[in-house]
Amino acid sequence: MVRWEPDARGRLGQAAFELFTERGFEQVTVAEIAERAGLTERTFFRYFADKREVLFAGADGFQDLFVSTVAGAPDSAAPIDAVAAALYAAAAMFTAHEDGVRRRSAIIAAHPDLRERELIKLATVAAAIAEALRGRGVTDPAASLTAEAGIAIFKIAFARWIAAPAGPDLAKLIAESLEELKLVAAGNLSATPPTGS
């Protein structure tokens, strides 16, 4: 095998996703991922600490997108609107990579340990959003409440999006969830389901 292959990280990721989808996460070894990619195990470990990291390699970029969007929102934006801008930015990113996002979600959904890791990732993002809000002058508990609400909106909209591939797009579902939250907060929640249901 050639020692330095172009886009080794991408090839390893693609091989891992293929194998996880074909055989299930638990049944796949690092050696098999490396072999499918035409690389060595040593090369795999240059890019990933273990096979779980293939699924969570984008966590830092995901968090950075939220933080930078919140921080870059206009000074006049209300805290929830700054977080909403970050939610829409994440929706655009996910929509641009929809096939991979859906495959990743299916792999994670099938394994309790991976679901737990995903929840930890989202909790870390919520903490980072709260810190970004504090950097905008939002005090606690408002910063923490807004950040947690934003992650709840994202989780609910994402679950609906994954469950209905032919349904509304993720940005629309985020908008609906955000509107529902605002209605709940105002005490105006109706019994009428959202239009995207």
Written as one string, the DSSP assignment of 138-184 is PPTTHHHHHHHHHHHHHHHHHHHHHH-TTS--HHHHHHHHHHHHHHH
Token duo for residue 52: 């779980």
Give the Cα separation of 106 and 143 in Å (integer).
32
Q: What is the pLDDT of residue 1?
A: 42
Contact indicator for 97, 111 with CB cutoff of 8 Å: no
Residue 25 has which token pair?
């996460």
Q: What is the DSSP letter of 25?
A: G
- pTM (2 d.p.): 0.85
Domains of the chain with CATH codes: 8-53 (1.10.10.60), 58-186 (1.10.357.10)
pLDDT at res. 5: 56
Q: Which of 30, 33, 31 is nearest to 16 (CA)?
A: 33
- Residue 125 identity (one-letter amino acid): V
Q: Where are the beta strands (DSSP E) in 82-145?
A: none
pLDDT of residue 194: 56
What is the rounded distance in angstroms from the CA atom of residue 69 to the CA atom of residue 1?
Answer: 42
So what's the pLDDT on residue 184? 87
Predicted pLDDT of residue 196: 52
> What is the C-alpha to C-alpha distance for residues 152 and 13, in angstroms, rounded to an integer?
28
CA dist 181 and 151 (Å) reads 12
Q: How much is the pLDDT for 2?
A: 44
Task: Say what the pLDDT of residue 6 is.
Answer: 63
H or E element in which residue 21 lies: helix 8-23
Task: Report the chain (197 residues): mean pLDDT per 10 consecutive residues.
Answer: 66 95 94 96 95 91 95 95 96 93 94 94 96 96 96 96 93 95 79 53
Residue 197: what pLDDT?
A: 47
